[in-house]
A and B are shown apart, each in its own frame.
Chain A
Amino acid sequence: MSREKPDQCWPGADNTRIPYRLIHDDEIYRQEQRLIFQGPTWHYLALAVEVPDPGSYLTTFIGETPIIVSRDDKGELHGLINRCQHKGALVAVESCGRASTLRCLYHGWSYHLNGDLRMVPFEKGIEGKGGMPAGFVKAEHGLTRIRLDVYQGLVFGSLSNDVEALETYLGPDMCAHITRVFHKPVVVLGYYHQVMHSNWKLYMENARDSYHATILHAFYATFKLNRLTMGGGLVVNHDGWNTMNYSIGASVQDGHYDPQELRAVMADVGLADPSLLNHRQEFADGITIAIQSIFPTCVHQQIYNTLAMRQVVPQGPDQAELHWTFFGYADDDAELRQLRLQQANLIGPAGYVSMEDGVIGEYVQRGTAGESAGSSALLQMGGSAIETVKDSRANETTVRGFWQGYRTLMGQRSD
């Protein structure tokens, strides 16, 4: 029997039904590498302050492709594929460093930080014998350069020459929100790295999903840090590819969260030391939680005074690694810096709020194992539209937006 083609696996034209096979199928996973990660998309790679000086570099990924972000001796940023032009070995192995050249350990080919090939050992052979042929030109064998652009100190890269300009790709509301947070110099305060045993797309759905946030994450609702009954909204740009969920803590209303029905509200639970929840209003718009998702794998968060970038790296159909870069402002006063670090107890792999996202995708991955063709998730909260919604967050419009980007690039139709 011939195999069903991936482009026929969607039950409908809208994005209210998401086939489970998209998170299990090896062939679809391979296609994603080509059509999404090597396709016309921008990928968050680093903060520019992480490669501060000439000679600084760091290593990361676009999908599975290993990438170097480097700053050359003129101070210019470069995005390079981390793959020696000789035999394909990694050129940079450490997560970050400083170097005058990048040298492949295998046969010693070395490169300048702008990717140019600098030296090939025994290029001329030994005593005129062996070596590279006369026609070998080093200028033709530099590390492969990728497109790089920086928006407000966020470094994005693309493996496609056809991708639109970064600001157009992000969209006006996304640019405005990035500018809201990156309006002054930032400093990195540390990293988390979290391995999740689930498909990368489940994490990206989760980060856009306001519906789950105050139900799964009982810490949010119990301590009134985030409830769907607060003011807030869902913002969609670029046909849903990029989205933001936000809430305004001061506007919380009681009611609607019935402790009999939702485990999320625990009237009898209190904190022995409520100072954990101390925070400072640092944005004039009153937004206390804002989760921004840039298609395909970037999340930018403000949860009270915690600020972080998250990058999802796919590692097969059923594993992904989440990299968190936690930051503050260079001019933080000591008290605000301390508040950020204390509130870090809410986020990351051990976060009172975020830890659950590390496992909930795995529950879906395991729950849908052995799925039969045609079974799918149901995304009908708020209907089927993909649009900005400012009066309710009981809506899955932002999640449907992720799948809009996905279907557009994967060419998956329902016919």
Chain B
Amino acid sequence: MIDSETHRRIQHLHNRYVRVIDDDQLEQWPQLFTAGGNYQVTTRENHERGFPLALMSCKGRGMMLDRITGLRKINVYEPHRYSHQISALEISAQPAGGFRCISNFLVVRIMHTGASMLFASGIYLDVVVQDEDGTLRFAERTVITDSRQTDTLLVIPL
């Protein structure tokens, strides 16, 4: 059983995640993970068929930071932003400590031209832990997109 305070704190972590991405505070994004946390984006096709290939795979904050360096300085793409909608959050406590979470997401992609589309839908599978400083962080966030297709490219983390 999850007490309401824990539920609120985990909900807050999910909300922070949306804010740092949708409000373009991407440099903050790795801080929502533990130092050695894992972030991975894959498709339901790969996940259900047991294929290990991911679209993005970051092991640790360093690789997450490099994704942000990539999108800020290196990669070429057309300016756009996301609007995340998160729902159906379920939380379960783990016997060994920490929490497993599952939630649904929709991501609308808004191009600089104004063109908007439903860019991705899917689920987040998370492991949330209390870090050394007492803050709740993602030790794992696996993003599983419902569709196997990516429209044009994926540069901002989902």
Enumerate chain A interface residues (CB-CB to B < 8 A). 95, 188-197, 216, 218-219, 222, 266, 269, 271-273, 276, 321, 326, 341-342, 344-345, 348-350, 352, 355-356, 358-360, 362
B154 & A355 in contact (Cβ 8 Å cutoff): yes
B41 & A195 in contact (Cβ 8 Å cutoff): no
Q: Known pairs A189-B53, A273-B66. 11 more at Cβ < 8 A?
A: A190-B46, A218-B75, A219-B75, A266-B74, A271-B62, A273-B62, A273-B63, A345-B57, A349-B150, A350-B155, A356-B75
Residue of A nearest to B63 (CB): A273
**Is B95 interfacial (CB-CB < 8 Å)?**
no
A189 & B52 in contact (Cβ 8 Å cutoff): yes
Closest CB in chain A relative to B42 CB, distance in Å:
8
Residues 41-80 of B contacting A (Cβ, < 8 Å): 41-43, 45-46, 51-63, 65-66, 69-70, 73-78
Per a CB cutoff under 8 Å, which of A190, A273, A341, A352 touches B70? A352
Within 8 Å CB of A356, what residues of B?
Answer: 75-77, 153
B77 & A191 in contact (Cβ 8 Å cutoff): no
Closest CB in chain B relative to A117 CB, distance in Å:
31
Distance between Cα atoms of A359 and B151 in the complex (Å): 10
A355 & B153 in contact (Cβ 8 Å cutoff): yes
Closest CB in chain A relative to B73 CB, distance in Å:
5
Per a CB cutoff under 8 Å, which of B43, B52, B77, B150 touches A341? B52
Residues 140-158 of B contacting A (Cβ, < 8 Å): 148-155
Distance between Cα atoms of A188 and B148 in the complex (Å): 16
Distance between Cα atoms of A271 and B63 in the complex (Å): 8
Residue of A nearest to B49 (CB): A190
Closest 6 CB pairs of A and B: A190-B53, A273-B62, A190-B51, A349-B150, A272-B62, A350-B154
Per a CB cutoff under 8 Å, which of B51, B74, B77, B149 touches A321? B149
Closest CB in chain B relative to A243 CB, distance in Å:
24
Per a CB cutoff under 8 Å, which of B42, B56, B77 touches A345? B56
A188 & B51 in contact (Cβ 8 Å cutoff): yes
Within 8 Å CB of A216, what residues of B?
Answer: 76
Within 8 Å CB of A190, what residues of B?
Answer: 42, 46, 51-54
Within 8 Å CB of A196, what residues of B?
Answer: 152
Enumerate chain B interface residues (CB-CB to A < 8 A). 41-43, 45-46, 51-63, 65-66, 69-70, 73-78, 148-155
Within 8 Å CB of A358, what residues of B?
Answer: 150, 152-153
Q: Which of A216, A321, A350, A355 has the most B CB atoms < 10 Å from its CB? A: A350
Known contacts A273-B62, A276-B63, A352-B74; is-contact A191 B51 (Cβ 8 Å): yes
Residue of B nearest to A321 (CB): B149
Distance between Cα atoms of A269 and B72 in the complex (Å): 11
Known contacts A271-B69, A273-B60; is-contact A194 B53 (Cβ 8 Å): no
B53 & A341 in contact (Cβ 8 Å cutoff): yes
Within 8 Å CB of A193, what residues of B?
Answer: 43, 148-150
Provide a sorted-by-A list of 19 A–B residue pairs whose CB atoms are within 8 angstroms.
Answer: A191-B46, A195-B149, A216-B76, A219-B75, A222-B74, A269-B69, A271-B66, A273-B66, A341-B54, A341-B57, A342-B57, A345-B58, A348-B55, A349-B152, A349-B153, A350-B153, A355-B75, A359-B78, A359-B153
Known contacts A190-B52, A191-B46, A191-B53; is-contact A269 B73 (Cβ 8 Å): yes
Known contacts A191-B148, A216-B76, A269-B73; is-contact A344 B66 (Cβ 8 Å): no
Residue of A nearest to B155 (CB): A355
A272 & B69 in contact (Cβ 8 Å cutoff): yes
Per a CB cutoff under 8 Å, which of A194, A269, A348 touches B149? A194
A350 & B150 in contact (Cβ 8 Å cutoff): yes
Q: Which of B42, B60, B61, B76 has the most A CB atoms < 10 Å from its CB? A: B76
A349 & B51 in contact (Cβ 8 Å cutoff): no
B51 & A189 in contact (Cβ 8 Å cutoff): yes
Within 8 Å CB of A342, what residues of B?
Answer: 57, 59
Closest CB in chain A relative to B55 CB, distance in Å:
4
Closest CB in chain B relative to A322 CB, distance in Å:
10
Closest CB in chain A relative to B71 CB, distance in Å:
10
Within 8 Å CB of B45, what residues of A?
Answer: 95, 191
Per a CB cutoff under 8 Å, which of A189, A266, A350 touches B56? A350
Closest CB in chain B relative to A47 CB, distance in Å:
13
Within 8 Å CB of A272, what residues of B?
Answer: 61-63, 65-66, 69
Per a CB cutoff under 8 Å, which of A95, A218, A344 touches B54? A344
Closest CB in chain B relative to A4 CB, distance in Å:
32
Distance between Cα atoms of A276 and B59 in the complex (Å): 9
Closest CB in chain B relative to A221 CB, distance in Å:
10
Distance between Cα atoms of A359 and B80 in the complex (Å): 13
Distance between Cα atoms of A218 and B76 in the complex (Å): 8
A359 & B76 in contact (Cβ 8 Å cutoff): yes
